[in-house]
Structures are given as C-alpha cells and as structure tokens.
Amino acid sequence: MNSKTRTQNFSKFYLAICALFFLGCSNDGDNTPPPLSECETGSNPNVTFTASFTNLDDIDHIEPLGELQAFHNYSAHTYVFIKSDVAEVPVYAPVDMDLTHVSFNGVDYQPMFRASCEVVLRFGHITNPIASIRDLATNEGIGLFDSDTPTLLQFQAGELLGMTSGTAEAKSFDFGVYHEDRPQTFLNNDRFHPVETFRYSTCPYDYYSGSLRTAMFDLFGPKPLNQPLDCRGPRGVAGTIAGPWFDTVEVFSTPHFGQTEFSPLLIATTLSGTVKIVRGTESTVHRTSFGAATYADPEEVTTEHCYEVNSGGYFYFQLQTDGTLHVVRQTSGTCPSEFPTSGFLTYYR
C-alpha cells in the first residue's frame, strides 16, 4: 500500500471515530470534523505533467484539438500518430493520477484518470493495457467529474499504463485532458456545452513545461506547417465561414452519439493548410490543398468563396448579412463565376 492510500484510509478511519464518539476532532475544539475533499484524488486546479505520455521518438505527428474528422462536430482530444515502421508504443502516466474508469468497445480500451478533482485525462484506442487496467474494463460510462466516483487504481508519473498500436485505419491513439474550471467557448455554446468532453477540453501539452512541452509541440502536424503552431480548439470564427454550421435554428440539447447532433457542415484547415470540409454523417472528408487554385483560408473568408475539392466538384459558400451561410454543392464541374441564385441550402451557427 502506498503512502497516498494509507493517508486516505487513515483519514476515513479518523473521521469515523470522530462521528461515533462525538469527539472534538478539530484543532479549535468546536467539535466540527475537518471537511472532506470534493473527490478522493484531492483538489489541485494547477496540475503539472512531469513525464512524457509515450516514447516521442516513435511518434510521426500529433494533431491538435479541433481537427476535422468525419462523424465529429468537434475533436475534444488530440490525435497521436505512430510512425509507420513502429509496431506499437508505450503509454505512460504523465503525472501521479488515479484510474477511475475503463471502457472496452470490443477492439480497444479507453482508460480515464483523475490527476485532481478538476483535471481528468483520457486515452483512447489503447490496444494492450496492463492487466490490472484491462481487468477493470466495462461497457458502462461515467461523467468526467463525478465526485463520488471511487479510485480504482493509483499510478505514479512515468508508470507504464500499457502498449498500443493505435487504430487499424490511421495508426493513431487519442490523448485528451479536461479541466472543470476552464470551459471552452464556442460561437454557440448551446450546441456544444451539453457534452462534457466538448465543454471542458483543454490542450494536454499545455500541462507540460520546458523541453518536454517544446518536444511535443514540435511534433504538431501534419507538416509542412502552413498555419500558426497552436493547439487550437473550437474552429468557429465569427464573421467568417470557418467552423461548424447546422441546418436548423433549433438546438438539440440531448447528447447524440457523444455530441449534441452531427453538424451538417464543418469547414476548417489542418496545420498543413489543407482545407477540410465535412458534412454530417458522410464518411468522405473533402479537401482543397494549400496552394491550390481555389485555396483560401476559411478564417479569412468574410463574404463568399468557392472550393474545388479532391473528391470532385465544388462547394460554394456565401455568408449572409444575418449571419447564416448559403451553400451550393456540386459533385462535378468547376467553380462558376458567380454564386447561383437557386439550389442553395441555408445553415446556421
């Protein structure tokens, strides 16, 4: 039993004795027991990570928060891509932390940890966790900050959590960190804040400092970088076409498949500058490469623009004075000289 567990057990025993015998257990003699922490792990809103979460030499690149993916309104975690010639990589505890939950989807594992009552970490697509973690897997979920969630296991910074080869499709795994006191701000919070992982997502690498933080930011990509080196976040920019758009003014407040609803339209760039356009539940990610004839940064488009995409045809976007967006999609042909007067769809923030 480590010192942290012994301290917790002693505290519980101490409080129980006080309650049973009505002893004056406080230092000032007012017979009031000392307060319990909000959760078993204890409060610390300023957690610092001290150990690398993996072997960085085996990582090809890291994609930051907000990276556009099919079937996602918002990527509330980062994507860590393993080098093609590396079979699997270790996953380590970046800080002293408590395991609170492990889910298994039939393919890989998603362990969740508390670094403090305010800071929660989640790894996704861990293919081979250590046995003590694997044996605790369940298919039931829990909230990020449920204060009554018990500690299942304790880990020290640098301790091995398992190995992973990532997803079969992309050879990547997920690393996300969530802070209860630092909610994200979206252009329309009502569409995103009902989902905890959206609302409380933060940049995992901002919890590091010094050379470790620098080494992780140096892995951001894909490269070459044609956008500012940044961990990003919500991709919507007011007054531009960039970010998520919805096909109804109504906001669905009940989470749907881990999000409020599938955004019918997402427009943003990768760090390499490529424009990505995603529509609803479509599996296709439409792209316009940096430097292409119809390329433009969506965050700089304040009126209208037409993108010819690699999947064929084009998307023509026209921002309206009322803040809505008119969109024409054609699966063949090239961009017309003017925005069509009919056949467009209207989207809302």
Q: How far apart are CA 262 and CA 245, in angstroms?
A: 10
Closest alpha carbon to 243 in 73, 78, 76: 73
Which band of pLDDT confidence, cut at 50, 70 and 90, is reported for residue 250?
confident
Residue 86, Cβ density class (10 Å: 0-12 exposed, 13-18 middle, ≥19 buried): middle
159 and 207 share one domain:
yes
Q: What is the pLDDT of residue 260?
A: 56
Residue 222 covered by a domain: no
What count of other Cβ atoms lies within 10 Å of the Cβ of residue 146? 12
Last residue of a domain, one of 168, 183, 217: 217
- The yes-or-no verdict on residue 208 having pLDDT over 50 is yes
* Contact by Cβ (8 Å): 277, 307: yes
Alpha-carbon torsion (146, 152, 158, 162), positive or negative:
negative
Say what the pTM is.
Answer: 0.85
Q: What is the pLDDT of residues 175-195, one digit of tens each?
A: 999 999 999 999 999 888 888
108 and 148 share one domain:
yes
Which band of pLDDT confidence, cut at 50, 70 and 90, is reported for residue 22?
very low
First to last CA, the chain: 52
- The yes-or-no verdict on residue 259 having pLDDT over 90 is no
Residue 290 covered by a domain: yes
281 and 327 share one domain:
yes
197 and 334 share one domain:
no
Residue 43 covered by a domain: no
Q: What is the pLDDT of residues 269-297, one digit of tens each?
A: 999 999 999 988 788 999 999 999 999 99
Q: What is the pLDDT of residue 332?
A: 97
3-state secondary structure 124-135: ECECEECHHHHC
Residue 235 covered by a domain: no
Give the residue-averaged pLDDT of 255-279: 81
Residue range of the domain that includes 172: 56-217
Higher pLDDT, 251 or 313: 313
Q: Which of the residue ranges 69-73, 146-150, 284-288, 310-314 would you say has the lowest mean pLDDT? A: 69-73
DSSP notation for 84-147? TT-S-EEEE-SSSEEEEEEEE-SS-EEEEEESSSSEEEEEE-BSEE-HHHHTT-BS----TT-T
9 and 119 share one domain:
no
179 and 208 share one domain:
yes
Structure tokens at 226: 């044609």
CATH number of the domain that residue 163 is part of: 2.70.70.10
Q: What is the pLDDT of residues 4-15, one digit of tens each?
A: 444 444 344 333
31 and 3 share one domain:
yes
Residue 280, Cβ density class (10 Å: 0-12 exposed, 13-18 middle, ≥19 buried): middle
Q: What is the pLDDT of residues 105-129, one digit of tens each?
A: 999 999 999 999 999 999 999 999 9
257 and 133 share one domain:
no
The identity of residue 241, as a single letter, is: I
Which band of pLDDT confidence, cut at 50, 70 and 90, is reported for residue 85?
very high
Closest alpha carbon to 211 in 30, 52, 45: 52
Q: How many domains does the chain have?
A: 3
Q: What is the pLDDT of residue 20?
A: 34
21 and 79 share one domain:
no
211 and 260 share one domain:
no
